[in-house]
Chain A
Amino acid sequence: MSTRSFGEPILRKEDQRFLTGSGIYIDDIDLPDMLHAAIVRSPYAHARILSIDTSQAAQLDGVKAVLTYQDLTLAANPLPLLIPHPALTHPHTQYALAKDVVRYVGEAVAMVVAVDRYVAEDAVSLIDVDYEPLPVISPDHLEVAASPGTPLVHEDTPHNTAAHFVQQVGDIDAAFADATHVFERRLRIDRSASQPMETRGVVARFDAFEQILTVWDTTQGPISIRNGLAVLFGLPAEKVRVTAPDLGGGFGGKIMLFYPEEILVPLAAMRLNRPVKWIEDRLEHMVGSNHERGQVHDIALALDANGRILGVRDRFWHDTGAYCPYGIIVPVITACQLPGPYKLPNYYSDATVVYTNRTPVSPYRGAGRPHGVFAIERILDYAADQLGIERAEIRRRNFIQPDEFPYDVGLTFQDGLPTRYDSGNYPAGLERALEMIGYDYFREEQRQAREAGRLLGLGLGCYVEGTGIGPYEGAHISIDNQGEIHVATGVSTQGQGHQTSFAQIVAEVLDVDVVKIHVTTGDTQRFAWGTGTYASRALVVAGNAIGLAAQAVKEKALKVASSVLEVAPEDLELLDGRVCVKGLPTRGLSLAALSIASNPIRYAYGASAPDLPAVLPTRPGPPLSPGEEPGLEATRFFSPIHATFASGVHAAIVEVDIQTGMVKVRKYAVLHDCGKLVNPLIVEGQIYGGVAQGIGGSFYEHMDYDEHGQLLNASFMDFLIPYATEVPHIEIDHIETPSPINPLGVKGAGEAGCIPVPAVMAAAIEDALASFGVTVDHMPLTPDDIRKFGIR
C-alpha cells in the first residue's frame, strides 16, 4: 500500500452492522431455555430490613427462583474493594443483596428469576419487605455529612468520613504569607451520572457437563470480571468466559468489580442450570448504576504582584455515596489534575471523602477532572477580574512552557506513579483557541450586542488530562492462511471505534488494507490478560501493544519469506500485503502464502498454497528450529512507565437571556492535543460527544436528591440529557505533541471533551452578566439560577 492508514480519517469498520441493526448488544442475546431476572430494590435511603416475605412471589406461575441475602452462600461476603488506598481508612462495599441494612434507594434486596421479564416483575411486586427507616444522610451541603453529630451511614465510620488525604508540594503557608494577592471561592459541582443510551445487563449460561461458565456482560473490564467470578465460584479461570458484546456506551459507569447483578445472574444460572438474563431498565439505572461528580471546593489562590501563582490551597469534600467500591480514585484524580497546565510552586490539597445515603460513586467520563478544572479555572477568572488582567493573560503568565517537559507536578497520580507531564505546548494551544473563537474581535462584538440589549459572554477553560495509565495491556495478532489478519486485545469497546483505530495501527505496520484486519475486543476467550477500557487508556496501552505485536508478526513474515525465497531479510520489504524483494515487487509472496509456509506440516491448504515454491523446508535440522514457533502470529504487551498527559483549551461565546434564563451557545471552539492522531474522524467524534456531555453537566444533568435520600428526577423526563437542539456546532483543531513515552506517540482522547466545559460555560455566563456583578460558583446552572442573577 502506498497509501497510509495511520493518521487517516478512515470510515469505521463497525458501522455496517450498527446501521443495519445487526449489532449484538446484551439484550439481543437470546439463548434456548433462557430465564429472566428482575431485582427488588430498596425504596428507602437508609433502613433496617426486618423481614422479607417471598412466599407469594415464589408461588407465582413461571417463577423459578427468588434469591435474598440468605441464599447467596458463595457470594455472601461484601463485594470486593476494587482499588484500596492507604488513606481509605473506612472502606465499605455493599453485599450482592442487602444484608440487614439498606443504605441507598436502589440498593438490591432480592432477585426473582422467571420465565419472562413480565412475570419476573409481577413477582417483584409480590415480595413484601418490612423496613424500619433509619436517619438519612443526604444533605444539601456536603460538609454537613462530615460534621460531628450527623447520623452515620456506617456505624463504624466517624463523621461519615471514608477517607481523608492531603497531597502537597512546597510550603503553602509561606506562599500565602508572601502573597501580594489572595483570592478565595467556594465552588460546587453537582452529582451526575454517565447515562449511556444502553443500560447495563448480564446474561449467563453454565454448562454443567463441561463446568464452563459463560457470561455476557455490559462491562468495560471483562477480564477483571472473569478473574473475579472464577475466584468467587471456585472455577479455574479457563472455565470462565466473559464477553463484552457491542456496548451502547459506557462513559465509566459500566466498569465495576462487581455490580451486584454481575454476580447474581451467573449464580442463578449455575444454581438453576439454565441461562439467565437480566436487563436493567432506565429507572433502575438511575439509582442502581453508579453516579459521579458531586464535590464542594474551598479554594484559595496566592498571587505575586505580577499575577504569577505562588500557591493554591484547596480543601474539598467528595460525595462517594453509600459505599466506595471503586476506592477513592475520583478525588485522587481531582487533587492531581487541579493544577492543570499551570506552574504551582506550592500546592496543598486536602480531600475528605464522605459517605451519604445515595447511590455509590465511581468514575464518569472525566473522572474527577471536571471538578478540579472547574475549581482552578474559576479562581483564576476571579483573580483576573479582581486585578483587571485579561482572563487569557493570567493563564499565559502561569503556563508551564514547552521547554520545561518532562514536568514533574510533584503529586502521586491515580496509578500510584508520579504526575509527570511528558509533553505539551500549552501557550500555543491557548493562542490557537483564542484565534478560533475570535477573541480579538469579541470585545467589540460584545459591546455592540450590549447596546442592542443582548448579553454576550466569552469563556475559556484549559486542562491537562492524565491518560493511558498502566498497568499494561496486550495483544495477539495472527495471519491466517487466507491472508486475513486477526487481532485480539483485552480491552472492551463501548463505541470508540477500536475495530477501526486498532486496525489502522496494524495496517500501517503490515502495509495492508484495514478491510483485511479483524479486531476482537473484550472477549476473554480470545485474550485474557489486561484490565479494561477506562482512564482514556485503550488506544495508548492496548494500541501500543498492538503496534508491537504487528511489528513482531512483520519480522516473522520477513524471516519466513527469507527462508522460502532464499533472500536475506534485510533485502525484503512488506508491500501491499506481500513480502517482496526490495526493488523487485514481482518477486515475493503474499501474507497468506507465508502463513501457510510458517506452518511446516506435510501438506498445505489454502488458496495461496500453489504460490509457494516449496512447502517443506529444504534447510537441514528439524522442521521447527529450536525456539521457533509455527504460524504467523505474535503476542506482545505494553506497560507504560506512567500516564501520558494530553491537554486542551476550550472557548465559547454564549448569549444569555436574563428574562427566561436560557443560554444559547453561539460558538464553541476546541483546541486539542492528544499527541499523534490515529484517526482524526474518531478522535473528533470523541471530543464532540464529550463536549455534549459537558454541556449536559453545565445546564441540565443533576441528580436531584431530597433530604430523605429520594432521587426526585429518576427518569429521562426529569433528568435531562441534551438533544440536538441543545448542542451547538463545535469547531475542533489539533496540535500534535507526540508522547515521548510510548512507541506510537499517542495520548488518550476519550474523556477530554467533557472536562473543561462547565468551567468554560460558567466563565462565559459570568462574562455575559458582568454588568449584573454576578459570580458563577456552581454547576449545573438551571434557567432559574440564571434568572435569579438578574433579580438580585
Chain B
Amino acid sequence: MSESSLPPQEKRLIQVRVNGVSHEAQVETRWLLSDVLRHVLHLTGTHVGCEHGVCGACTVLFNGSPIRSCLMLAVQAHGADILTVEGLAAPGGALHPLQQALRQYHGLQCGFCTPGFLMSIYAFLQEDPDPNLSDEQIREALSGNLCRCTGYQGIVAAVRHLLTSAQVTTAPQVEPGAIAEEERV
C-alpha cells in the first residue's frame, strides 16, 4: 500500500460448493458473493442488475434458500452449498422443466433477469405450493424479481403451468439433443 489513507485489503480462503462442485478461493473480505461467483469462479449466469438488492437478478440458492448474491460478502459463503442457474439444466444441456416452461410461455426476452427468476421460482416450487394458487398469489411469489421486458405475462403463465403439471419436482425429462426438435409450439 502506498501513501493513501485506505486500509490494506485482507484476503481469506473460502470453501464453497457450487452446483455440486467444491471450490476454494482466496477472496478479499470486501468482495461480494456475486462478484466471486461471476469473476472468480466464472459462473457468469448470475447477473447483477442493481447491486442494492432490489432487482433480484443475482438471486441464487444458498443452502437451499434464495438470497441476493449482491448483498452478501463472499466470505460469508464459506462452507455453503450454492445453486446457480448453471446448475439447473442436465449435464448434456437438457433444460429443467422450469426452464422449458419459461421458454414455452415466452417468459423471457433479453434474458438478463431470467437466471434470478429461475432461482426464485425454483425455491418457490420446492415449497410445494398449492396447485390452485390464484394468479395474484403467483404474482406475489414472483414479486422479488424485476423484469423490464416481458410484463411478467409469460412468467406467470409458466409458473401456472408448472403448478398444474406434475413436473414440479421431477428431473429433466427431455433427453439431451432433443431441444432442436422442440422448436415449434
Q: Is the interface of B mostly helix, strand, loop or mixed?
A: loop
> B153 to chain A: which residues have CB within 8 Å?
684-685, 688, 727, 729-730
Contact of A685 among B139, B149, B180 (CB under 8 A): B149
- Which residues of A119-153 have CB atoms within 8 Å of chain B's CB atoms? 122, 125-126
Q: Does A195 reach chain B (CB closer than 8 Å)?
A: yes
Supposing A8-B184, A11-B182 touch, asked if A249 and B110 sit within 8 A by C-beta, the answer is yes
Q: Does B44 reach chain A (CB closer than 8 Å)?
A: yes
Would you call B2 and A10 a contact (CB within 8 A)? no
Would you call B185 and A248 a contact (CB within 8 A)? no
Supposing A10-B185, A21-B85 touch, asked if A198 and B149 sit within 8 A by C-beta, the answer is no
Q: What's the least CB distance linking B10 to chain A, in Å? A: 13
A281, closest chain B residue (CB): B51
> B145 to chain A: which residues have CB within 8 Å?
723-724
In the assembled complex, the Cα of A248 lies from the Cα of B44 at a distance in Å of 13
Q: Does A238 reach chain B (CB closer than 8 Å)?
A: no
Q: What 0/1 pattern do residues 688 to 722 of A give for CB contact below 8 A with B?
A: 11111100000000000000000000011100010
Q: Does B113 reach chain A (CB closer than 8 Å)?
A: yes
- Which residues of B1-46 have CB atoms within 8 Å of chain A's CB atoms? 1-4, 6, 9, 28, 30-31, 38-39, 42-46
> A438 to chain B: which residues have CB within 8 Å?
none
B181, closest chain A residue (CB): A515
**Interface hit among B96-104, B124-132, B162-170:** B96-104
Contact of B142 among A14, A30, A197, A723 (CB under 8 A): A723
Would you call B1 and A25 a contact (CB within 8 A)? no
- Which residues of A58-75 have CB atoms within 8 Å of chain B's CB atoms? 59-61
Most B C-beta atoms less than 10 A away, residue of A283, A682, A690, A727: A727
**Interface hit among A490-498, A537-545, A566-574:** A490-498
Contact of A10 among B89, B95, B151, B183 (CB under 8 A): B183
Would you call B99 and A248 a contact (CB within 8 A)? no
In the assembled complex, the Cα of A490 lies from the Cα of B84 at a distance in Å of 34
Supposing A16-B95, A19-B102, A198-B47 touch, asked if A246 and B4 sit within 8 A by C-beta, the answer is no
Would you call B183 and A515 a contact (CB within 8 A)? yes
Would you call A724 and B152 a contact (CB within 8 A)? yes
In the assembled complex, the Cα of A126 lies from the Cα of B31 at a distance in Å of 20
Would you call B185 and A11 a contact (CB within 8 A)? yes
Would you call A692 and B184 a contact (CB within 8 A)? no
B interface, how many residues as a size bin? 35 or more
Q: Does A27 reach chain B (CB closer than 8 Å)?
A: yes
> B67 to chain A: which residues have CB within 8 Å?
none
Contact of A248 among B51, B84, B86, B110 (CB under 8 A): B110
Q: What 0/1 pattern do residues 223 to 252 of A give for CB contact below 8 A with B?
A: 000000000000000000000001111010
Q: What 0/1 pattern do residues 106 to 125 of B give for CB contact below 8 A with A?
A: 10111111110010000000
Would you call B108 and A18 a contact (CB within 8 A)? yes
Would you call B6 and A126 a contact (CB within 8 A)? yes
Would you call A60 and B4 a contact (CB within 8 A)? yes
In the assembled complex, the Cα of A715 lies from the Cα of B52 at a distance in Å of 8
Would you call A495 and B109 a contact (CB within 8 A)? yes
B118, closest chain A residue (CB): A19
> B102 to chain A: which residues have CB within 8 Å?
15, 19
Q: Does A405 reach chain B (CB closer than 8 Å)?
A: no
Q: What's the least CB distance linking A438 to chain B, in Å? A: 19
Would you call B51 and A282 a contact (CB within 8 A)? yes
Most B C-beta atoms less than 10 A away, residue of A122, A281, A689, A727: A689
Q: What's the least CB distance linking B56 to chain A, in Å? A: 9
B57, closest chain A residue (CB): A197
A-B pairs with lowest CB-CB distance, top 3: A21-B45, A495-B110, A18-B111
Chain B residues engaging chain A, CB cutoff 8 angstroms: 1-4, 6, 9, 28, 30-31, 38-39, 42-52, 54-55, 57, 84-86, 88-89, 93, 95, 99, 102-104, 106, 108-115, 118, 135-136, 138-140, 142-156, 179-180, 182-185
A sample of 8 cross-chain residue pairs with beta-carbon separation below 8 angstroms, ordered by A number, consists of A19-B85, A25-B44, A126-B6, A198-B47, A199-B49, A246-B110, A249-B109, A715-B50
12 further A-B contacts with Cβ under 8 Å, apart from A197-B112, A725-B143, are A13-B183, A15-B111, A25-B44, A59-B2, A60-B4, A118-B31, A196-B112, A197-B57, A197-B146, A198-B47, A715-B50, A729-B153
